[in-house]
């Protein structure tokens, strides 16, 4: 049974809207919404579910315990196993590792039984320059653009092959108002991987962008 999220004055709680979410994409921590944004942006991810299941085990004293993973991630590639994920700050793991370890061991076993794998992610894996790019591009991806603007952007990109957003906008129009209307189409094309850019470094108007054709 999935976990329900109560309102809290001690933690950040909320919901993230995503077409990939199975059920409500709720969160109860500062790090979880950033992880969910990465999942929404990742084209390899088919769907995800927050607090997807409860895992039960018995400790050394015979006491029954339960643990709820933060998220289950499903991938488009049928050869890639689903992943049960735990999202925690490194400092929290260091402080509470002794008490958390039995739950995580139970999760590894439970994931193996269902044909999944269990993974712990921290701010080291989540809060990167890639996340900065994702948080910038995701609103353009969600908003979408009209087909004519997309085709115009991709057509010019095929001609230029390699350029920067600055030089691209100078070529596509000399009208500042028209540039302002077409720039979201460029970001949308980058965010939907129709134009190549290195998202592991900060994305700027001087970043290198490449045509895929």
* Nearest-angstrom CA–CA distance, 70 and 126: 14
Strand duo 83-87 + 117-121: pairing:
parallel
What does the alpha-carbon distance between residue 186 and residue 158 come to, in Å, rounded to a whole number? 13
- Is this model's pTM higher than 0.75 or not? yes
Which one, of 160, 150, 212, 156, lies nearest residue 187 by Cα? 150
Model confidence pLDDT, tens digit, residues 58-116: 988 889 999 999 999 999 999 999 999 999 999 999 999 999 999 999 999 999 999 99
Beta strands (DSSP E) in the chain are: 14-15, 26-27, 45-50, 55-58, 64-67, 71-75, 83-87, 117-121, 162-163, 195-197, 209-211
How does DSSP assign 76-89, residue by residue? Answer: SSTTSPPEEEEE--
Whether pLDDT at 2 is above 50: no
Reply yes or no on whether the pLDDT at 27 is more than 80.
Answer: no
| CA 84 – CA 72 distance, rounded (Å) | 4
Is residue 8 over pLDDT 70? no
The secondary structure of residue 21, as a DSSP letter, is: B
Contact 207, 198 (CB under 8 A): yes
* 157: helix, strand or coil: helix
pLDDT class of 5 with cuts at 50, 70, 90? very low
What does pLDDT average to over the chain? 91
Domains of the chain with CATH codes: 14-126 (3.40.1350.10), 129-211 (no CATH)
């Amino acid at each position: 049974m999935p976990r329900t999220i109560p309102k809290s004055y001690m933690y950040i709680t909320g919901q993230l809207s995503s077409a990939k979410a199975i059920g409500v994409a709720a969160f109860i921590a500062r790090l979880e919404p950033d992880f969910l944004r990465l999942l929404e942006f990742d084209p390899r991810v088919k769907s995800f579910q927050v607090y997807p299941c409860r895992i039960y085990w018995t400790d050394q004293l015979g006491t029954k315990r339960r643990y709820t993973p933060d998220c289950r991630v499903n991938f488009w590639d049928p050869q890639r196993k689903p992943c049960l994920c735990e999202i925690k700050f490194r400092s929290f793991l260091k402080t509470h590792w002794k008490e958390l370890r039995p739950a995580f061991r139970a999760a590894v076993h439970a994931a193996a039984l269902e044909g999944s794998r269990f993974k712990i992610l921290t701010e080291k894996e989540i809060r990167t320059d890639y996340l900065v790019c994702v948080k910038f591009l995701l609103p353009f991806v969600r908003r979408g653009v009209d087909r004519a603007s997309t085709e115009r952007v991709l057509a010019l990109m095929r001609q230029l092959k390699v350029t920067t957003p600055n030089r691209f906008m100078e070529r596509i129009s000399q009208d500042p108002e028209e540039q302002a209307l077409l720039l979201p189409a460029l970001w949308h094309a980058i965010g939907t991987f129709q134009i190549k850019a290195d998202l592991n470094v900060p994305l700027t108007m001087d970043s290198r962008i490449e045509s895929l054709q």
